[in-house]
Amino acid sequence: MQANKPSESTPVDQKVDFLCDLAEKLNQQIKTMSGEIVSLRSALPINDTLTVTDLGRKLGVSPQSFYGKPWNLPNFGSPDIGHNPRHWLISTVNAWYSRPESERRAAWEAMTDDEKIKAMA
């Protein structure tokens, strides 16, 4: 994307044309890169995952509510993939919610403080 930069003596309208051409080239490169990013995302396994936001929508609760009740987050918040945002495989989510909430909460309460911190980190 090399273009001849106008000199100080170039008329203003030619400078504006130069900037418009440059902006158009940049816009085209951004569109190309955006398409490549979508392709890369499609290749990643995150299509079969859920985030905290997805879980909130699925369960009809605010995503922030999970942090007050960490036993409602799969693996007590420890993600299968990534960290920001956290992603859980759908199979993990289904297995997690197949257990009764009372059982998940009892497991949370049986954990040490260090285990809780590690899971939620």
**Longest pairwise C-alpha distance within the chain:** 77
3-state secondary structure of 4: coil
Q: Average pLDDT in the 46-65 region? A: 87
Q: What is the pLDDT of residues 20-45, one digit of tens each?
A: 888 898 888 888 877 776 666 666 66
pLDDT on residue 121: 79
pLDDT on residue 102: 95
pTM of the entire predicted model: 0.58
Amino acid at position 107, single letter: A
Q: What is the pLDDT of residues 78-108, one digit of tens each?
A: 898 877 788 899 999 999 999 999 999 999 9
pLDDT on residue 29: 87
Amino acid at position 58, single letter: K
Task: Supply the mean pLDDT for the chain.
Answer: 85
Q: How far is CA 14 from CA 17, 24, 25, 50, in A?
A: 5, 15, 16, 51
Q: How confident is the model at residue 2 (pLDDT cuts 50, 70, 90)?
A: low
Query: Which residues, listed in sequence order, are joined to residue 36 by a DSSP beta bridge?
Result: none
Phi, psi of 81 (to 5 degrees): -135, 135
Q: Average pLDDT in the 46-66 region? A: 87
Q: How far is CA 89 from CA 2, 12, 50, 64, 101, in A?
A: 45, 57, 6, 20, 19
3-state secondary structure of 19: helix
